[in-house]
Amino acid sequence: MKIFFAIFALLAVMLAVYPFLGDEEQRDSVTGLPWQIDVLDDGTTRVFGLRIGVSRLADASAALGDDMELAIIASTDVEEVGSLEMYYGHYRAGLLSGKLILHTATSEDRLKTWRDNAEKSDYMPSGYAKKYTLSAGDKPQVLQETISGITFIPAVNLDEEIVLARFGEPTERIEQPGTMHYLYPEKGLDIAVHERSKEVMQYVSPKSFDSLVQPLR
């Protein structure tokens, strides 16, 4: 019985990493994968079928579906208006799944207005932030906001071998306690591999990459 469970656990791990290290032909037949980053002639990038700095939240809703949350997230321990985010808790491309968060660079005036009109507010599980659920009346205008960045948190844990196999050699590595950042400035991508938590991939426009990594330095 113990041997059965050991084999089952091994198979589960193999299936989990298959989307990253599986058959090349099968992988390439699937679109919307996190390493499928197109660098366009105008300097922008396209990933998950969305152009960072060009596509709107409405475009994301049309491409990825309306099974998402749209809210303003604000810290509770500092004075801030917050940030507008569109959150997909069950993003899937082929066998690969994870959480997808779309960010915007919305002006503070608009954020204040939409936050004041929010239908409700709830504390996030951490207790350090609050989520303001937007009113139905504001959503048509909110959906016209431009996507300034994307965060993807894969369901499977990654390591350096997988990162290098799928994304190639990074331009730079920055190590922090318990975390290694793999930086790809030409793609606007920072991959944070954590020892004790889920990995995080952050995508921005290449021209905005310095502002993303400056806090790491």
DSSP 62: H
Residue 176: exposure state from Cβ atoms within 10 A (0-12, 13-18, ≥19): exposed
In this predicted model, what pLDDT tens digit does every residue of 17-31 receive, in sequence order?
555 555 554 455 789
Which two three-digit tokens encode residue 90?
Answer: 């069950």
pTM of the shown model: 0.85
Task: Report the distance separating Cα 116 and Cα 133, nearest Å.
Answer: 10
Task: Report the distance separating Cα 196 and Cα 217, nearest Å.
Answer: 22
| Structure confidence at residue 9 (pLDDT) | 40
Q: Are 143 and 135 in contact (CB under 8 A)?
A: no
In this predicted model, what pLDDT tens digit does every residue of 90-118 receive, in sequence order?
999 988 999 999 999 999 999 999 999 99
In this predicted model, what pLDDT tens digit does every residue of 125-148 receive, in sequence order?
887 899 999 999 999 999 999 999
| Whether the predicted pLDDT of 191 surpasses 70 | yes
Reduce the secondary structure of 147-197 to three states and give it as a string. Answer: EEEEEEEECCCCCHHHHHHHHCCCCEEEEECCEEEEEEHHHCEEEEEECCC
Q: Are 86 and 68 in contact (CB under 8 A)?
A: yes
Task: Report the distance separating Cα 117 and Cα 124, nearest Å.
Answer: 19
Q: Give the Cα-Cα-Cα angle 114, 116, 119 (nearest 5 degrees).
A: 80
- Tell me the DSSP string of 6-47: HHHHHHHHHHHHHHHHS-HHHHHT--S-TT--EE-TTS-EEE
Task: Report the distance separating Cα 152 and Cα 74, nearest Å.
Answer: 20
| Structure confidence at residue 21 (pLDDT) | 56
